[in-house]
Amino acid sequence: MNLFSFSANFVSEESCRLHFKEQRDKIGVNCKCGSSEHFWIKSRWSYECKKCKHRTSLRSGTIMQSSNLSFLIWYKTMFLLSATKKGFSSKEIQKQLGLKRYEPVWSMVHKLRKAMGNRDSRYTLEGMIELDEGYFTVESSEIEKDKGVRGKGAVGKQNVAIMAESTPLEDIETGKKSSHCRYFKAKVLSGHGAEEINEVVIESIDDKSIVFSDKSTSYIDIADYVELHITEKSDKETTNETLKWVHITISNAKRTLLGNYHKIKGKYLQLYLNEFVYKLNRRYFGDNTKYNY
Ligand SMILES: [Zn+2]
């Protein structure tokens, strides 16, 4: 949605609430008594259970529960987060929306990033998949504690598994090989064990896929979980071809995250990656994408 259609549709708090209600009604509201039959009480922006009369506000049970920010602010933030390729920091969003307090904005933005990750976790990658790990610079409070360092400055590297669907193409006239990529995933790893990689492969990749990677020892069991696992020595030439998209993505992600946030705490890295990948997976606006908002 571009800026023009956004302002046309969501001019007021009321229009945002009505839109939110419409979305919520599609899923349905469940009362704690077990009933899902409700009256709508507009004057209170609440649902009332037909059976036990319990009231559920429009916000409760949703991402906005316990937030004091208006629906309009949430909608504007969703727009800012998803409309631009580059992304916004919470500080910039606070400034753009003219909000006094930083903490509620920070909390809202992180909840939205978490929701983006949940949304994408519904899908698995299929076909030919490139897999590699990227090392992201993070501010690590754990390292600081270990070294007894006080204040800022301790920096660590966090490894992240990056996966990219990639279809090889060959130009019939020139014989030149290239590849075309579609969807991505990024998962922060806690170590270098094969077991963790196996879990990531099981939850992220369809078992009929073909996976390309380098010969890292942590990838030793991947063949057990997919149709075929092809490994190549990680010298420049082979990986430039077979792991092309995953490498482009790793460097783009690093550049985007560093450009927007300068310093990232290790424990929040997955949330920033959620946002990056969510947008990457929806980069073809209006295209026939299987990834819905
Ligand atoms: Zn009830």
- Residue 33 is predicted with a pLDDT of 96
Ligand 1 centroid, distance to 36 Cα (angstroms) = 8
pLDDT in tens, the chain (293 residues): 455 566 667 889 999 999 999 999 999 999 999 999 999 999 999 999 999 999 999 999 999 998 999 999 999 998 888 777 777 889 999 999 999 999 999 999 999 999 999 989 989 999 999 999 999 999 866 555 555 555 445 678 899 999 999 877 667 777 776 666 789 999 999 888 999 999 999 999 999 999 999 998 999 999 999 999 999 886 766 667 788 889 999 999 999 998 888 788 889 999 999 999 998 888 765 444 444 44
Residues near ligand 1 ion, CB 5 Å cutoff: 31, 33, 35, 49, 51-52, 54
Ligand 1 centroid, distance to 57 Cα (angstroms) = 13
Ligand 1 centroid, distance to 162 Cα (angstroms) = 45
Contact 29, 37 (CB under 8 A): no
Ligand 1 centroid, distance to 50 Cα (angstroms) = 7
Ligand 1 centroid, distance to 55 Cα (angstroms) = 8
Of the candidates 250, 274, 275, 257, the one whose C-alpha atom is nearest the C-alpha of residue 139 is 257
Ligand 1 centroid, distance to 28 Cα (angstroms) = 13
CB-count burial class (<10 Å; 0-12, 13-18, 19+) for 269: buried
Of the candidates 202, 231, 198, 201, the one whose C-alpha atom is nearest the C-alpha of residue 214 is 231
- Residue 7 is predicted with a pLDDT of 66
Sheet containing 228-232: which strands, arranged edge to edge?
177-188, 155-170, 128-139, 210-214, 228-232
Ligand 1 centroid, distance to 17 Cα (angstroms) = 23
DSSP assignment letter at 268: G
- Residue 284 is predicted with a pLDDT of 62
Ligand 1 centroid, distance to 178 Cα (angstroms) = 58
Helices H, strands E: what count in the chain? 10, 8
- Residue 289 is predicted with a pLDDT of 44
